[in-house]
Amino acid sequence: MTESREAGSFFKKWAMRQYWRMQQSQAVVSLLLWGTTITLLVWPLIEWRFAPGCTGSSCFSSEFMGISSTYFALAGIFFTVMFAVLTIGFLYDQVFSLWTEWRSVDMERNPFATYALAPVWVMTIALQAEVLKRSSPDDEAMVKQADWCLKWCETYTEGEMFARAVQRWDKDMGETPTFWFTSDEAMDRARQTSFEDES
């Protein structure tokens, strides 16, 4: 049973590594495919200008230095598309600075960057608040703020992410202790939580 589980885990990790590698090349590959597609869509519209029988005023030689002008035309279209994409990227970055607003909206919409706590942050903030509370027992304002932080941490022990963390800690390291900022009941609820994506 353990061997089959390890084999399954190895295969999943191998498969996800290959998927990650494909994702890393996605930006470059999609840019090349996009440039090639637009080039091949535009080419039929101007192909006649390079044909030997062209009679219009905007005709070009069918050969240049013994090489078919078709290749130069296709390369010209492709690099024009790439230059247009680069120009848009430059305007996006340097002129309009839209990426700063995008990051701002991205952070605003991310609860774990504004008010929510992931398990790692729960543990970090709870430890810091407890140390601060114990090192400044005579400072009522500081103790009050430390208690608020501990309450904040306790609130997020009721969430799904903390439940996932507790179940994983139990699996990897044995039973997780009841932390000072939560309760036995909260830990039990975390252990009993079931997840739709794992059923």
Residues 118 and 177 in one domain: yes
Question: Identity (one letter) of the amino acid at 15?
Answer: A
Residues 100 and 12 in one domain: yes
Statement: residue 198 has pLDDT above 70: no
Between the alpha carbon of residue 1 and those of residues 7, 9, 110, the distances in Å are: 10, 12, 39
Statement: residue 63 has pLDDT above 70: yes
Tokens of 166: 């507790």
Statement: residue 77 has pLDDT above 60: yes
What average pLDDT does the chain have? 89
CA 162 from centre of chain = 21
Final residue belonging to a domain, choices 109, 135, 167:
109
Angle at 113 between CA 108 and CA 118, to 5 degrees: 145
114 secondary structure, DSSP code: T
Rounded to two decimals, the pTM is 0.62
Q: Which domain holds residue 98?
A: 2-109
Count: domains in the chain: 2
Residues 32 and 59 in one domain: yes
Q: How many CB atoms lie within 10 A of CB 188?
A: 12
Whole-number pLDDT of residue 3: 63
Between the alpha carbon of residue 5 and those of residues 1, 12, 54, 164, the distances in Å are: 6, 10, 69, 20
Radius of gyration of the chain (CA): 30
pLDDT digit string (tens) for 149-196?
A: 999 999 999 999 999 999 999 999 999 999 999 999 999 999 999 987
